[in-house]
């Protein structure tokens, strides 16, 4: 597996997780605490999360496919973007497991004699 595949997944996992945590706090502020300014926060962060979650799904599926994981594990990684803070933990576990499997590209520089 290339390092870029894992890096794309890691970036999208963090972005998705942060947006979902902020969105969850915004919804709590809007509906439970009746904070007036939370309306805009929920609107904009919810829209951003809604557009970026499919990108997370693509990146996560690519990592899982290249790792040749079973369907149950793939489902857990894909659903981690829908549970607040879960993507942080799942990303860490995926990274720990797949880092040793990264293949570095061969150097294109000629060997000096």
Q: Are 56 and 16 in contact (CB under 8 A)?
A: yes
Distance CA 57, CA 77 (A): 9
Distance CA 72, CA 34 (A): 39
The structural domains of the chain, with segments of one domain joined by +, span: 3-96
The pLDDT confidence band at residue 111, using thresholds 50, 70 and 90, is low
Structure tokens at 46: 């919810």
**Residue 80: closest CA among 5, 17, 7, 11:** 17
> Whole-prediction pTM value?
0.83
pLDDT tens track for 30-73: 888 877 777 888 899 999 999 999 999 999 999 999 999 999 99
* Residues 6 or more apart whose Cβ sits within 8 Å of residue 74: 61, 64, 65
């Amino acid at each position: 597996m290339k390092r870029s595949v894992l890096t794309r997944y890691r970036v999208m996992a963090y972005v998705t997780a942060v947006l979902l945590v902020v969105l969850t706090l915004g919804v709590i502020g809007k509906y439970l605490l009746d904070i007036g300014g939370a309306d805009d926060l929920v609107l904009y962060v919810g829209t951003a999360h809604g557009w970026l979650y499919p990108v997370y799904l693509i990146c996560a599926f690519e990592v899982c496919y290249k790792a040749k994981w079973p369907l149950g594990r793939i489902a857990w990684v894909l659903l981690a973007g829908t549970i607040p803070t879960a993507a942080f933990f799942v990303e860490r576990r995926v990274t720990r497991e797949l880092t040793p499997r990264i293949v570095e590209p061969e150097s294109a520089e000629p060997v000096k004699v």
